[in-house]
């Protein structure tokens, strides 16, 4: 069996397909916006969200912050039945911004293509693999990308080129991935999450909605663990309290556009 890597996206990550946006340089682009300085959306206070990734679910293992970069798996299998991007039937379960809030403006080209770290923390580009979704223990819908690889999985994170620098960027070497990777755009403390966090997804639009847009309805917990659930469960054990009933992370669900 060919090696593979499963990449899980937690937090405010928006899916764009080349089918709907032919000018994309990749078959599928997952956008993590830069929400590190945002503390209010439509008069709702929220915690700033930081983007990052790791090759392990445990929040105590090394993690890497993202402040403007393109990420991809560099050795996907490109032949046979796995050629191109396949959308699993569960992909439709990711909340659609236009289904939640109709009559939205087009996507912002500055966010989608601009390589501007002030707007976008990361693009994760996919040209081969299967894209699906899963639900976290606390109700958030997360994107999962499964990619078969030619040999052990390797990934590359390339920082956006600085328009202020004339120096050539150093050549970057692909790095070894484990069988799982985790990208996120989440608040520093999981107990600071609210359902209003989902409104950050609408910042990918060229003109945000004039009034507070809609957010997904909680649908109960799912089978899949994420970093946030791991942290909360550790807190529940140490504080001898139950956070399961009091907490939902549906506000940090991924989304699709359109």
For residue 224, the 8-state DSSP code is B
This prediction's pTM: 0.91
Q: What is the mean pLDDT of each run of 10 residues along the chain (258 residues)?
A: 90 96 96 95 92 84 90 87 82 97 96 96 96 92 96 94 52 81 87 88 95 89 83 59 62 95
Dihedral angle at the C-alpha atoms of 194, 157, 84, 115, nearest 10 degrees? 70
Burial code (b: 16+ CB inside 10 Å, e: under 16) for 96-105 equals ebeebbeebe
With tokens 């699993």, the residue in question is 88
Burial code (b: 16+ CB inside 10 Å, e: under 16) for 121-160 equals bbbbbbbbbbbbbbbbbbbbbbbbbebbbeeebbbbbeeb
For residue 191, the 8-state DSSP code is G
Residue 218 lies in domain: 4-256
Q: What is the token pair recorded at 256?
A: 């699709």
> How many independent structural domains does the chain possess?
1
Is residue 249 classed as helix, strand or coil in its secondary structure? coil
φ/ψ (deg, to 5) at 30: -105, 125
Beta bridge partners of 175: 155
- Give the span between the Cα atoms of 182 and 66, in whole angstroms: 12
In this predicted structure, what is the pLDDT of residue 84? 87
């Amino acid at each position: 069996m060919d090696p593979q890597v499963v990449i899980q996206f937690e937090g405010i990550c928006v899916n764009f397909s080349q089918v709907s946006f032919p000018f994309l340089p990749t078959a599928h682009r997952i956008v993590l916006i830069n929400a590190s300085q945002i503390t209010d959306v439509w008069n709702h206070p929220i915690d700033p969200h930081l983007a990052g990734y790791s090759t392990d679910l445990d929040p105590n293992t090394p993690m890497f912050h993202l402040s403007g970069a393109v990420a991809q798996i560099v050795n996907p299998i490109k032949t046979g039945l796995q050629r191109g991007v396949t959308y699993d039937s569960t992909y439709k379960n990711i909340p659609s911004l236009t289904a939640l809030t109709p009559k939205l403006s087009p996507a912002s080209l500055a966010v989608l293509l601009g390589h501007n770290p002030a707007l976008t923390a990361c693009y994760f580009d996919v040209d081969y693999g299967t894209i699906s979704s899963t639900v976290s223990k606390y109700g958030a819908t997360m994107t999962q990308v499964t990619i078969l690889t030619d040999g052990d999985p390797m990934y590359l994170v390339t920082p956006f080129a600085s328009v202020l620098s004339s120096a050539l960027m150093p050549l970057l070497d692909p790095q070894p991935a484990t069988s799982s990777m985790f990208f996120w755009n989440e608040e520093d403390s999981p107990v600071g999450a609210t359902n209003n966090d989902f409104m950050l997804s609408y910042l990918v639009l060229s003109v945000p909605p004039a009034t507070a847009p809609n957010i997904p309805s909680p649908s109960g917990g799912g089978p899949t663990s994420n970093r946030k659930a791991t942290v909360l469960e550790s807190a529940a054990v140490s504080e001898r309290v139950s956070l399961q009933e009091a907490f939902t992370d549906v506000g940090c669900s991924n989304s699709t556009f359109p």
